[in-house]
Amino acid sequence: MTERHTRILSPGVEMPLLGFGTYLIPDAEATSAVREALRAGYRHIDTAEVYQNERGVGEALRQAIAAGEVTRRELFITTKLWPGNAAWGQTPKTTATTIASLHESLARLQLDFVDLYLIHAPFDREQRLAQWRGLIELKAQGKARAIGVSNFNVSHIEELEAAGLPMPEANQIELHPWSQKPALVRELTRRGITAIAYSSLVPLSTWRVAPGHNSAKTEQMRAEGQRADSPFKAMAARYGVSEAQVLLRWGIQKGYPVLPKSTQPQRMRQNADLFSFTLDAADMATIETMDRGDGVAWNAGDPTRAA
């Protein structure tokens, strides 16, 4: 039986399981990076208002479409609303400014619509429902084919449910073997909400080592990834793949769309090769024992870690 390479978000909307993440790619570098990703076979591109690289991403899409390398129909584009956080001196978005924000993102992306629009974080309790109503209206306008949230927990989802509002079609959250969030994933599944994985490569020693790429990952965690007896090194050797491919493949087998990011063409192609091998049941069971609870990439109190 042929393995599916997509995940159905809602009737008529399918998201490729393989996506290309653009967090921490500067706008000036985003065009070349996304063009290279498209050449490597990626058709799902993930960006956000707060990444400040929508213009570069949009220019890559325009160039690729103009050159006949891809069609808009083949692409799946996600961007995210920055909701504003009063605790950081920002003005939280209202329903009206939420709608305006996507229109501004579309102008930067040079697109008529996005395939998925997400609320990036559940910062302001008073405005969450207003922002979600804005996304519902944007979907009705045809500006977003599907809508969802990011970094929401069960109580935030229940808040939408209690207000009698439609459920999100996706929740983009930190998911990897060290942060598996089984209770949250179980609740999302029960409600028909797709869990999308970001920061899949946290267990690697090389994850976010560049200056300014902040996270809550400790030096002890980083040292674990450098050990010769790392379980991911052993698995990678058995399958003849990279450790990154093992981590990404775990997400794929769990049914999560994944969003690897790289600016190196060879690494992009390697990360895209996720359907030529399968982790066996024993390895999947071993990984199930590695969960450490909360992740390290996202911290709602730190604006520099908005993954």
CATH code of the domain containing 158: 3.20.20.100
Q: Tokens 């924000």 map to which residue?
A: 101
* CA-CA-CA-CA dihedral for 120, 136, 89, 173, to nearest 10: -20
Residues 50, 306: contact at Cβ < 8 Å?
A: yes
How high is the pLDDT of residue 212? 55
Q: Could you tell me which residues are annotated as the binding site?
A: 120
Q: Is residue 305 part of a domain?
A: no
Hey, what amino acid is at 35?
A: R
How high is the pLDDT of residue 303? 40
Q: Is residue 306 part of a domain?
A: no
Q: Is residue 297 part of a domain?
A: no
Q: Is residue 1 part of a domain?
A: no
How high is the pLDDT of residue 115? 98
pLDDT below 70 — which residues of the chain? 1, 205, 207-226, 228, 298-307
Q: Could you tell me which residues are annotated as the binding site for substrate?
A: 120
How high is the pLDDT of residue 294? 84
Contacts of 99 (CB under 8 A, 6+ apart): 134, 137, 138
How does DSSP classify residue 229?
T
Residues with catalytic annotation? Answer: 51
Q: Give me the number of domains the chain comprises.
A: 1
Q: Is residue 270 part of a domain?
A: yes
Which residues of 3-162 form beta strands (DSSP E)?
A: 6-10, 13-16, 20-21, 44-46, 76-81, 114-119, 144-150
Q: Is residue 73 part of a domain?
A: yes
pTM for the model stands at 0.93
Hey, what amino acid is at 87?
A: A
How high is the pLDDT of residue 306? 47
Strand 20-21 and strand 13-16: the pairing is: unpaired
Q: Is residue 190 part of a domain?
A: yes
Q: Is residue 33 part of a domain?
A: yes
How high is the pLDDT of residue 222? 61
How high is the pLDDT of residue 302? 41
| Residue 172: domain span | 6-288
